[in-house]
Amino acid sequence: MRRKYFGTDGVRGKVGASPITPDLIMRLGYSAGVVLTRHNTHLHPGDHPSVIIGKDTRISGYMLESALQAGLSAAGVDVLLLGPAPTPAVAYLTRALRAQAGIVISASHNPFDDNGIKFFSHLGSKLPDEVEQEIEAMMDLPMHTQTSHQLGRARRINDADGRYIEFCKSTFPNELDLRGLKIVVDCAHGATYHIAPHVFHELGAEITAIGVSPDGFNINDGYGSTHPKNLQDAVTQQGADLGFSFDGDGDRLCMVDHEGRIFDGDRLLYILAKDRLQQDLLQGGIAGTLMTNLGFEHALKRLGIPFDRAQVGDRYVIELLKKNNWLLGGETSGHIICLDKHTTGDGIIAALQVLSALIRHDKPASLFTEELELYPQTLINITLNHNKDLTQHPLVMEALDSATTLLNGAGRILLRRSGTEPLIRVMVEGENEPLIHRCAELVAKAVKEAMTALV
């Protein structure tokens, strides 16, 4: 069932267009306050529920924070304001401060003029689909503001940064440190700008920080995990050992080694899986997504590690991990989930786990992953101009059949609508790079023709 407001990671869109408008976000805050309080049974009679709000560095965060605060207060919910904070920090502090829920104002890796709202339960985990649907249903009902003596209050949490920095450091082995390592940290001018450099420095590394001058408009602009060129240049020019970049809200990770080679989520997850296997700490298998490279799956099979795929989105990876009673999973995009360290994907914590593996085995990342052969992938994004389902259109179905025949079992095709942007994504993967590119172009052309036909 296609939902009205929520995508794969909360509510997201262009600022000023529905649903990212002050009136709708106020209604979202009110509805979330009512629903999330209803689902929490830990309140004592007469207590006000509390919700934590953190945000990234977008200029629109001020407006949306105020709108959420108004809606939550109207529902009788107290608000704890963190200011700029990474998404995983909100998840951690929601648990640590025993709040009923956590809310993040962020559009992650998107440009500054997008923004979004995502939620965490009191356990620090993403909300189930059915709870989001309940919030959506309430948004279409009239608001009933509490009486004055029942309205929620708001206050700022002034020590949030220090609390989260110490939490991140606590996930790094006590017997190890980062002394002797020169590391470049790229914070995308986003929510980790005042967090990540301190974590690595306090563990002993020599740090160069880039992407740490947010102005409200430059988040993800040429920096961060989706734009690794500046990180590559900084690492090679300064002779650093490694570089880590995060996205705008700090839950994605990309790594660059001393020669400027990029390590995406699949390669980083392979390092962690291999390290845990050798330490006999790997509980069960590894969870990936439909986008996870087939070469990664084959490499795990050679190691005897079970692998399973979830829908695209870190929330679905976490659901699969919990279903299988596993601990480690992630996405090619750089969401890495270590459920023995945190309840959600965390770029800083994932980087620390990778560093501990490399230090423990005294191996560079290139040697640690030398037997991992990732297959070529072609990804084409097509911007949508309407909400109609194109995946079942006859033109698209015919192109998919033709491309499947061309691949002849030596690859796979994935056609999906993005849950965070107005895009249809065509991904083709296989051993023959020219062939997979041809197949991707074939399907993408059919999608564009179907979209034109349906206008």
The catalytic residue positions are 108
The terminus-to-terminus CA distance of the chain in angstroms comes to: 22
CA angle (122 as vertex; 116, 128 as ends), nearest 5: 60
Give Cα 440 distance to the centre of its chain. Answer: 26
- Residue 411 CA to residue 431 CA, distance in Å, equals 7
Pairing status of strand 50-55 against strand 411-417: unpaired
- Residue 71 CA to residue 320 CA, distance in Å, equals 33
**Alpha helices (H) along 257-329:** 265-278, 294-302, 314-324
Query: Position 163: which residue type?
Result: R
- Residue 219 CA to residue 221 CA, distance in Å, equals 5
Measured on CA atoms in the order 398, 399, 400, 405, is the torsion positive or negative?
positive
Helix (H) or strand (E) holding 337: strand 336-338
Under 8 Å between Cβ of 204 and 225: no
